[in-house]
Amino acid sequence: MTSKANNQPMTPKSPSPATRIAELRQQIEDANYRYHVLDDPDIPDIEYDRLMRELEALEAAHPELASPDSPTQRVGNAPSAKFSEVRHAVPMLSLANAFEPQEIHEFVARIGKETGDFEPVFSAEPKLDGLAISLRYENGQFVRGATRGDGATGEDVTVNLRTVRAIPLRLRGKTPDVLEVRGEIYMPRAAFERYNKWARENGEKTLANPRNGAAGSLRQLDPRITAQRPLSFFAYALGEVEGLKLPATHSQTLALLRDFGLPVCPQVTTAKGAEGLLAYFEQIGTQRNDLPYDIDGVVYKLDRYDQQRAMGFVSRAPRWAIAHKFPAQEEATTVESIEVSVGRTGAVTPFAVFTPTHVGGVTVVKATLHNADQVARLDVRKGDVVIIRRAGDVIPEVVRVIEERRPTDKEGNPLHPPFVMPAECPACGSAVEREEGEVVARCTGGLFCPAQRIQALFHFASRRAMDIEGLGEQFIAALVEFDYVRTVADLYKLTLEDFLEMKRRADEVTGATPATAKAGKVATRWAENLIAAIDASRNTTLERLLYALGIRDVGESTAKTLAKHFGALDPIMSADVDTLRTVPDIGPIVAARIAHFFAEPHNREVIAALRANGVHWKEGAPQRSADGPLAGQTVVLTGGLAAMSRDEAGDRLEALGAKVSGSVSKKTSFVVAGEAAGSKLAKAQELGVEIWDEERLLAFLAGHAS
């Protein structure tokens, strides 16, 4: 281009910083999309790095143009002290497992019987061996990511997920108001090998296998460490959705996710009937070792959503999907010894210690033998060569003894006798007894047994119990070893000086000298934090306290049921077995264990000491939900309420007998739809479920106020 005035070439006008930044972001995101979604990169790595450096320089020079969805925002946040909890709007369910072809035939036949379609179409997908996560996008922008956790509640790992390049920070095209994407974080095999090679060359700790590498990397408190790990992601399902009409099938939904810029496993396909599923299983099995990522089976999901809805759910698993697992991986090793451990409830469990053996990417050194009956069934002895298996590719177990390789004396007799469970607890010397009809033997020492004491204290302090942050097993073991704590109530008598003295004594035993001590200083912040955490736990709820006490077979759900039914602790402590059996979902065995726990004088003394040491728990009037006006009815809450939170509304409905569910089905009695209700409202309308607005809910609650 030339100037008419002087015939001199004109210099092209440079784009503004805002324009260039927008161009660079688009180029980088397009490159990510082509690499992770289309598997068709169009620029070399060096060009990608050049674009990123240019963008970083421009954003540094123009901080007013910063944006949370910029590719540069994937790295750099400061370390976090802990992960906060995230409650999933739609639970992340688990899957039933199948191992044999017959189970797949039965699965398909059951679907045919209930839907009338005996050759249904399924989405068939590799079962990735990584970590399940949920990504939440609002108006197309990534706002939060969480682990699966227990299915209802996970951990907020947003800052770490931002470092994963396969996860788009902004979706492509026209996006819905809310889109929760479920998928798997994994570590590609080649990237895993490259990372371990680098780690060995630089004196860093190597990763055991890709699965552990993925899970451990995502749960780093410092996202800068996560950013160094070669993580990737595949999407495979949806959670909460608002502002989007979904396709009729799961396979069409996966195609839609690809259009949004989310990577989906390329081995996903559809298959028809049981024979189609088994053919896919065989095909993937032959490809397994050549795939760029680890899998431990395949997953079959009914493709049509209307058929999924017709099948529904059982417990915490869908009846329209199943995981078909590959045979577990096995190796031979030698038993060096058989020992026992004592658990929190006094269970004395035998376990075998092996010559270290590599099985499926993990070095195995021991495995549980479960109980004395299992040891006798296997007839496993010291010195035996055994076959061990990582059942489900995770839990090591002893499969069988290779008897012909058993060591013998000159006469051919076994060199080692059969294993016998100890008559006395190895931790406290108390008698080990086995109740009639039970397979597990238990130490009778109770909280007086140091082994049980450590585990009981660890459970008491855990996040879902009293939530004493920072009080880990190492500190608890030292507190017990040096006799600072004998019961959980003793935690609330500890002083700063106790913790500092305990640490000094522990360092003397190990011969360790902290750097601060070498410098003539005493570090106290850690102890101050522990004292503060213990103080913060003094105010809790009755259900948390009941769970924290470690009553055998009383988990979180049973603790919540007891708290609601009785309202206060004293009535629970004085209830006999017959009274406890009137509580919903509590059978005779659990009732007997609760009654036995509170009948023990030392347990009552612990509770009295907790009260004396300033521990308080919220109590209220009993809630006899089975007798309420909503008894037997299932209610779903969706959208925002103006007068109260959804949790409060749920509690009040449960107090009137309702079961509050997180998903709408044909069994839902009515849906309470608040402000900005989304997909649950639409589903209720589709199924013809009765819908209440907030005004009707408030009127109903007012009419049934006690």
Instruction: Give catalytic residue positions.
Output: 127
Element (H, E) at 399: strand 395-401
C-beta separation of 32 from 71 below 8 A: yes
Q: Residue 568 corresponds to which amino acid? A: A
- Phi, psi dihedral angles at 323 (to 5 degrees): -100, 125
Query: Hey, how many other C-beta atoms are within 10 angstroms of the C-beta on 43?
Result: 15
Which residues partner with 541 through β-bridges? 618
Element (H, E) at 355: strand 347-359
For 325-338, give one letter per residue: b (16+ CB within 10 A) or e: bbebeebebbbeeb
CA distances from 322 to 93, 127, 205, 317, 367 (A): 12, 10, 36, 9, 28
Distance from C-alpha of 134 to C-alpha of 90, rounded to nearest angstrom = 10
Nearest to 573 by CA among 541, 606, 540, 544: 606
Q: Name 651's Cβ contacts closer than 8 Å, sequence gap at least 6.
A: none
For residue 427, what are its two tokens? 């931790």
Distance from C-alpha of 468 to C-alpha of 539, rounded to nearest angstrom = 11
What sign has the CA pseudo-torsion 79, 219, 557, 310? positive
- Mapping DSSP to helix (H, G, I), strand (E, B) and coil, where does residue 446 land? helix
What is the full DSSP assignment across 549-591? TT-TT--HHHHHHHHHHHSSHHHHHH--HHHHTTSTT--HHHH
> What number of CA atoms fall less than 13 Å from residue 18's CA on the CB side?
2
Q: Residue 408 corresponds to which amino acid? A: T
Place of tokens 């035939």: 105
Distance from C-alpha of 459 to C-alpha of 475, rounded to nearest angstrom = 13
For 155-175, give one letter per residue: b (16+ CB within 10 A) or e: bbbbbbbbbbbbbbbbbbeeb
Query: Hey, how many other C-beta atoms are within 10 angstroms of the C-beta on 306?
Result: 11
Query: Hey, how many other C-beta atoms are within 10 angstroms of the C-beta on 515?
Result: 8
